[in-house]
Amino acid sequence: MTSSSESTRIYWIYALLSLGGVVAFLMIKPEWFWVMLPPFLTYFVKGMRWM
C-alpha cells in the first residue's frame, strides 16, 4: 500500500460512518437527516481525493 491510499482510508471510514448516520436520521428523525450530510459529503470528497 502506498501512503496516499492509507491516508484516504480513514476518510472512507468516516464517510461510511456518516452514511450510517444519514440512514439512521432518515429512519428516526427524517426532518433532521440534512444535519449528517455535510460530514458525509466532506469525507466522500476527501476520500475521492477531489479536494
pTM: 0.81
Q: What residues make up the domain containing 34? A: 3-47
CA angle 36/8/17 to nearest 5° reads 30
What domain count does the chain have? 1
Output the nine-digit C-alpha cell for 19: 452514511
Query: Long-range CB contacts (< 8 A, 24+ apart) of 2-8?
Result: 4/49, 8/46, 8/47, 8/49
Q: If we measure between CA atoms, which residue out of 43, 39, 42, 37 comes closest to residue 10?
A: 43
- Please name the residue that has the C-alpha cell 468516516: 14
pLDDT for residue 2 = 59
pLDDT digits (tens, 9 = 90+) for 1-51: 556 666 899 999 999 999 999 999 999 999 999 999 999 999 999 999 998
